[in-house]
Each structure stands twice: as C-alpha cells, then as structure tokens.
Amino acid sequence: MQLDGLKNIVGDNGWTSAADELQPHLTEWRGTWVGKTPLMLMPTSTDEVARLVAECARLKIGLVPQGGNTGLCGGAIPDDSGQQVLLSLQRMNRIRSLSADNFSMIAEAGCVLSDLQEAASKARRLFPLSLAAEGSCQIGGNLSTNAGGVNVLRYGTARDQVLGLEVVLPDGSVINALRELRKDTGGYDLKQLFIGSEGTLGIITAAALRLYPALPDRRTAMLAIDSPQQAVALLAFLREKTLDQLQAFELLSELTLQIVCTHISGTRRPFTEAAPWYVLLDVALDPDYDNIEPALIQALERGFANDVVIAKNDSEQAALWRIRHSVSEAQKFEGASLKHDVSVPIDCIARFIEAATVAVETHWPGSRVVAFGHVGDGNVHFNVSQPPDWPAPRFLAERARLAARVHDIVASLGGSFSAEHGVGVLKKGVLAEFRAGAEIKLMRALKSLLDPDNIMNPGKVL
C-alpha cells in the first residue's frame, strides 16, 4: 500500500504504525472484534482530514473513522484484511466557540463528551447528552451513532442536540454547515444524513450543538407497580403533572431487582414487600417553587402506583440508581444471556414485554426474562438469562433463533431492532431484514452516490 502521501499530510506526530500504540484502537471495547491496520492517522484540522480522504479516494484505500472506540457494534474497528487505514479524531478536540446567549457551542469531533458537559456547565448551561462511556466517547462518535443515554426522555437523542455540522465527504470535499440556527428551511437538511450513519457516508469534523439552562435540583424516587401497562399510565400522569420535567423514567422487573440485590454487594431492596414491577424516576425541579411529593402522592391515590420511596439525600439517591446501573453486572452471575436492545412506541411497551416473554418462555422453557429499560423512550432491554440447568454454549447457540422471535414481535408493533448503539457489523443482517424494500434501496443508493468506491468505513452498516 502507498502510505507515504498520507503520512506527509499529517506530519511525523500525526500517524503511527507502532503495534503497541495501535493495539487499543484495534480491539473493540468488549473485545468482540479485533482488526488489523498498517497505519493510524491522527489529523489536527478539517483541512488535513479533507486531504487525507482525497488521497484515500485517489488510491482507493478504505478508511475507518474512530472516536473514543466505545461503540459496541464493531463499527470503529478495521477488518482483518490489514488493508484499511484508521483515522482517529482524537487530536481534533477544540471547542471552537460557546455562546451562552445563543445556547450553543461549536465543538470539534474529537472532543470527549464529558469535556463538553463541563464546558457548558462553566457557562451555566447544560449539554444534556450523557452516557456511561462519557469519559471516553467523543462527540463525533456520539453523533455518528446517534447516541441515546440517560436524558433522552427530556432532551432527545444526540441527533436532537445538533444545530449544524461540518463534514468531509468521501471525495475529500467539505460541507461547512456549522450554522447555529434554530430555524433554517434552506433546502434538504443534509446534516441528518451523517448523524447515525456510523462513518459510512463521510467524516464529521465539527458540530454546532444545542445547550440548555443548567439543571436545578434532581429528585429521585422509586415506585412499586403491578405491570408495564401501569408504568405507561404513570408516565403519562407524571409528564402532565410536572409539565415534562421528568429526566428519567426506568422500568425494572422484580426478577431484575432480585438478581441485583443477590449479586451486588451493598444494594438492598427499597421496599419491604416485593412488587411485580418498579419504576425509578428522576425529576428536575426548581427547589424554590416546586416539589415532586404532591404529584407522587396523587399518583398513589389515583392507583397509578402502589408504593413509593423518595430519596431524602444524595446517598439515598445514589443507592436507588446503583440498583439500575448494576443490572448488566449482576446478570453475568446468572450465566449466559442473550440481549435485545429494542424500541417500540411507548403505548406498545406492555404488549411487547408480554408477547416476547410468552414466546421466550414457551420455546426456551426454564430461561428467565430480565426486562428493564427506559419506558419514556420506548426502549426496552429485553435480556434473557439461560435456563440454570443448561450449559452456556447450548443457550448461546440459540442466539439467532431467539432474536428472530423477539424481533418479529418488535416488527409487528412498529418498533426498531436497534434502539441504541447503531448497526456496525453486529446488526448488519438484521438491518437488511428490517428495512427491506424502498428504505434499504435508498440507503444503498445514497451510499453509492456519495461513496462510489466504498472507501468510507467499508463493510459497516450496509
């Protein structure tokens, strides 16, 4: 491969071929994918990115953009041919501007998410995108995967935070659309093409992002309820009562709570009596004017919930959230599990959980459904733990058949097989089934129009 031209563009500090430096960039976060590359490029400007992409286009070299490498679907890892070059955005990490009055900032793609949150906070503003990987993931990766995270209920996904984008196209030309506008009806909204397309249509080099007022106090409560249907009714009631000040609204089944409290030291059941389901919620209210307690008491009086605990201080708040954040870790102690991160319209959540549970329990007797998720986003983590008396490999061999059953139910309710994390290489096959027909045809047509030589993150998504 002719790599000298690429190295010259970025200079001596802008590339590496050293195996020990490449290694962390070639292994996916959970170690599921390991790739090969002869070269990682680390440009510092949009101009350098544009020249690199133009050179790759000329030589027809595949280029894999990489942010924080926290994606879980194999999207940021080159394949094992050793013929693809990595392009890391890590040195493009400047905040170009921040306007508190326009409630916006312009950040380069390699800015780490938590640095953006901090910069906004110093200006008494909030950048609401928040996820467990926020200390490592980068805004370019967040936008390319349309990341969700914990604040979607109130602020939407990464897509909703974008006012404008700067993008290098697969021929090396640059779309400079860093407009910090709320209103703009000038033609097709091209930025939307690049958000969520996982580096297959171009490289995001910078983004104009929306900011919000800094948050007042956050209150946390857990409610005991009878069913997912009741959770949906409770959500509607509290959204009305709080005028949409809910920050998070999470559903957990009793089995999920049991597993956490059994395996994670320091956790304990919030209620003396078990209930079939629980809701954990956060609400942000101005402490001078508002109080969540009356709304929660009304919810009990009107039969939207059976019991409630309200965190009285930071440590009680942390203890309630620890339960939710420990679910994945706790589930590991129950053996192998098959996970489905799906979304359905909020009013179909109960039907989905019920139908998918019946399907799984009927066809895989003894397996245990560990269902939890972000009800307010219509996002259910439908995890299934193996039957205790099965060897793990036997259960894992059922992955495709079990997923097909679950996905059929999702499809029948108008849902998505991929609520978060994107497609990468992990869900390529499922995408082809779910978006069959005109949708996948248009996706392929857009890909070949923008990237006729398939140099941009080849082998991902489509």
Ligand X SMILES: Cc1cc2nc3c(=O)[nH]c(=O)nc-3n(C[C@H](O)[C@H](O)[C@H](O)COP(=O)(O)OP(=O)(O)OC[C@H]3O[C@@H](n4cnc5c(N)ncnc54)[C@H](O)[C@@H]3O)c2cc1C
Backbone angles phi, psi at 140, to 5 degrees: -60, -40
User: Which among 337, 199, 325 has a CA at the least distance from the CA of 250?
Assistant: 325
Burial class of residue 177 in the structure, from the number of CB atoms within 10 Å of its CB (0-12 exposed, 13-18 middle, 19+ buried): middle
Tell me: does residue 203 bind ligand X (CB under 6 A): yes
How many residues form the binding site for ligand X (CB under 6 A)?
A: 36
Per-residue exposure over 323-334, b if at least 16 CB sit within 10 Å of its own CB, e if not? bbebbeebbeeb
Site string for ligand X, 78-117 (x = CB under 6 A): -----------x-------------------x--------
Q: Which of 131, 223, 234, 327 binds ligand X (CB under 6 A)?
A: 131
Q: C-beta of 190: minimal distance to ligand X in Å?
A: 14
Tell me: does residue 29 bind ligand X (CB under 6 A): yes
User: Which among 285, 411, 301, 297 has a CA at the least distance from the CA of 348?
Assistant: 411
**223 in helix, strand or coil?**
strand
Q: Which of 199, 228, 270, 376 binds ligand X (CB under 6 A)?
A: 199
The H or E element that residue 431 is part of is: helix 428-434
Q: C-beta of 133: minimal distance to ligand X in Å?
A: 4
Closer residue to ligand X (CB): 125 or 421: 421
Q: Which of 35, 43, 62, 75 binds ligand X (CB under 6 A)?
A: 75
Gap between the Cα atoms of 240 and 237, Å rounded: 5
Q: Which of 61, 147, 169, 211 binds ligand X (CB under 6 A)?
A: 147
Tell me: does residue 371 bind ligand X (CB under 6 A): no
Contacts of 118 by beta carbon, 8 Å cutoff, 6+ apart: none
> Residue 61, Cβ neighbours under 10 Å: how many?
21
Residue 349 CA, chain-centre distance (Å), reads 19
Q: Which residue is nearest to ligand X (CB)?
A: 141
Q: Which of 210, 421, 427, 447 binds ligand X (CB under 6 A)?
A: 421
Closer residue to ligand X (CB): 192 or 412: 192
Tell me: does residue 76 bind ligand X (CB under 6 A): yes
Tell me: does residue 32 bind ligand X (CB under 6 A): no
Tell me: does residue 35 bind ligand X (CB under 6 A): no
Which two structure tokens, joined as six digits, stand for 106? 């312009």
Tell me: does residue 144 bind ligand X (CB under 6 A): yes
One-letter identity of residue 340: H
Q: Where are the alpha helices (DSSP H) in 28-173?
A: 46-59, 113-122, 139-144, 152-155
Per-residue exposure over 229-248, b if at least 16 CB sit within 10 Å of its own CB, e if not? bbbbbbbebbbebbeebbbb
Q: Which of 86, 163, 204, 455 binds ligand X (CB under 6 A)?
A: 204
Q: Which of 133, 211, 257, 323 binds ligand X (CB under 6 A)?
A: 133
Q: Interior CA angle at 360 toward 355 and 365, to 5°? A: 135
Tell me: does residue 209 bind ligand X (CB under 6 A): no
Gap between the Cα atoms of 459 and 457, Å rounded: 7
Tell me: does residue 418 bind ligand X (CB under 6 A): no
Residues 422-441 interacting with ligand X (rule: CB under 6 A): 424
Q: Which of 44, 46, 66, 326 binds ligand X (CB under 6 A)?
A: 66
Q: Which of 46, 84, 104, 142 binds ligand X (CB under 6 A)?
A: 142
Q: C-beta of 194: minimal distance to ligand X in Å?
A: 7
Q: Which of 14, 43, 65, 415 binds ligand X (CB under 6 A)?
A: 65
Q: Is the dihedral of CA 285, 286, 288, 289 positive or negative?
A: negative
Tell me: does residue 137 bind ligand X (CB under 6 A): yes
Q: C-beta of 23: minimal distance to ligand X in Å?
A: 15
Q: C-beta of 231: minimal distance to ligand X in Å?
A: 20
Eight-class DSSP state of 386: P
Closer residue to ligand X (CB): 5 or 196: 196
Question: Long-range contacts for 444-447 (Cβ within 8 Å, ≥24 apart)?
Answer: 446/193, 446/201, 447/200, 447/201
Q: C-beta of 65: minimal distance to ligand X in Å?
A: 4
Q: Which of 37, 44, 69, 161 binds ligand X (CB under 6 A)?
A: 69
Q: C-beta of 390: minimal distance to ligand X in Å?
A: 28
Residues that bind ligand X (CB under 6 A): 29, 64-72, 75-76, 89, 109, 131-133, 137-138, 140-142, 144-145, 147-149, 198-199, 203-204, 420-421, 424, 457, 460
